[in-house]
Chains A and B, each alone.
Chain A
Amino acid sequence: MPAPALAVIHLSDSFASVWTDMAAEAGAELRSVESDAAPARDAAALLLAAGGEEQRGLDLMSGIAERWAVPIYFVGAEASHRFAVEALRRGAADYFSLPEDADLLRRTLAARFEAGRARAAAATQDDNPFAELMGESEALRATLERAGRVLRHGDVTVLLGGETGTGKELLARALHRGGSRRDGPFVAVNCAAIPAQLLESELFGHEKGAFTDAHRAKPGLFEEADGGTLFLDEIGHLPVALQGKLLRALDERRVRRVGATQDRAVNVRIMAATHVDLRQAVAAGEFREDLFYRLNVVHLVLPPLRERGDDVLLLAHTFAAASAARYGLPEPRVGTDVRDALQAHTWPGNVRELRHAVERALLLSPPGTLDPQELVPVRRAGPATPEAVTAGRLADAIRAVVEGAVTRHGGNKSAAARTLGISRARLQRILDRQEGGDDADVA
């Protein structure tokens, strides 16, 4: 891979001899470009060499900053506060005055190119299929280590556990991508989202005339996933009547369409996921024990976010940066208050909830900030956790939620009522403690 380039726009010849050395020390190729040239694709940084031509450099700076997406280092000959401030204001990443700042510039360039190499090295480790499951916590690492071992064992059947929003489908996709079937299809289906009476046809297909609306034959998802992976999310919702048919498909690698008289051979790896305890479902007679053991060859459990320590901060940073880019907003500063709020909340909806919360806070906070009140709005307002509710404090919990909403709306009770989906009169009654309410509206 060629070395990344250090691009230089020469507005003057001052110090021209030092750029070659600095680039070499940083492990970069030096590339001279014109001030109005298109950005060099392989450049990782740009020097605007304006020693003695500072004012001209400033005049050009904004236009250059608009075109170049890499850090721009403005290099002048004057240790002028005014020039430095103006250069930064117009988009420079830093201002250096030579010869005084030569060492500082040298170190800055070296660090910049070293960081780029590290990122490139990380990117070339594209064979890490778990890269999308971000986090450094012990809990997540342990699960991913086990998942890595699964990859070495080929097409083993995997049962994924974990609360809603912990990333079960992401992990299933990663296991598919890292396995031998990566060039085959990955077909995901949420068993809870399909009416029970349609699930059999959806999974196994049907022949023409098999039922009233079967105007033509249709392959099922097993056939669609042939050569790849079929991911059955919320497997606990699979009707008992279908569990036997699934078990047979797993054991015999053959499926029969609804209304068919012949089986069809399929070559499908099954991964299943559930957020409930299937052992309990087995004990309750709701899930076949033989199917449970057939699916549970390897059991991987994704930890809830509340057990992942500082991962919440890492993920919040990542989501904030991505959302800021999406909406063209400045990347927000994550201050102590935001960190405290992120860590104080239990995130019952896990990573999915965090992602939405961060995006919401970014959009509703002043630019460049994350308002902790917007980040975890309702739940921070009071003890509205299920535990609190079952402890017999429903009225208090509801009142706390309502108070929180009113606070967030700056005391505007009508707006708070609209957000909560209740009438203003009812909101007032709750605030006046005339009504404990039920849990339908706000809990």
Chain B
Amino acid sequence: MRIALFITCLADAMFPDVGQATVRVLERLGHSVDFPAGQTCCGQMHVNTGYQKQALPLVQRFADVFEPYEVVVAPSGSCVGSVRHQHQMLAERFGTPQLVTRVRGIAAKTYELSELLIDVLDVTDVGAYFPHRVTYHPTCHSLRMLRVGDKPLRLLRCVDGLELVELPAADECCGFGGTFAIKNSDTSTAMLADKMRNVLSTGAEICTAGDSSCLMHIGGGLSRLRTGAKTVHLAQILAATRQEPMVLASGRQDAPPHSGPEAVL
């Protein structure tokens, strides 16, 4: 299947490893991945901060860029949530009826990674190898907006060598919330403190999730407190194999995804 990758503005700028990992997983499963370079951002930040009209060109761009594709995937529950739940609202408010129809059609074929793998590609074991103790944080948008349910857990359970430990109070928000982390930084940090306490209580080395935004927040806290635990995106875990394992270089959040020779794909 030919799959278009929506990298998300955050991963494009800060976490390219997550995008590379997503590509690697899908190509390993025999699919071809396209990265239409005209993409930029889904507009979630603007909408959630109260700047809806400013997000309209971003909605239009998303529609223009991804319309030609049969399937679109993003390694982010929150961005897919925005596409599915906010793009139509914006099109109705500021756009044309034609845009509303287009946007609705594209939303129907845009998937978060675990949704794509399990619902569309019908695969649970992606042939990954990740010999670490891992706990999974279900991000709020994946949990309550997309309702991905246990799809990420099912994928993680098939990862060779991975010791999966349940996260206590997993359903509780980590406190990121986009600009909430800046505007209400004290409350955001208080929520982070409890999320970190729960992560550390599992004894896991790695906390994973399907959203780089939450991971950036949780990982930033784990790093600041020198806890000895770190965050890794679900895509990166699924991309790691015995042939090309993920090396978690000590103390470096931006460790390269694999230590072996560059994969020739």
The answer to whether A binds B is no
Which residues of A are in contact with B by a Cβ distance under 8 Å? none
Which residues of B are in contact with A by a Cβ distance under 8 Å? none
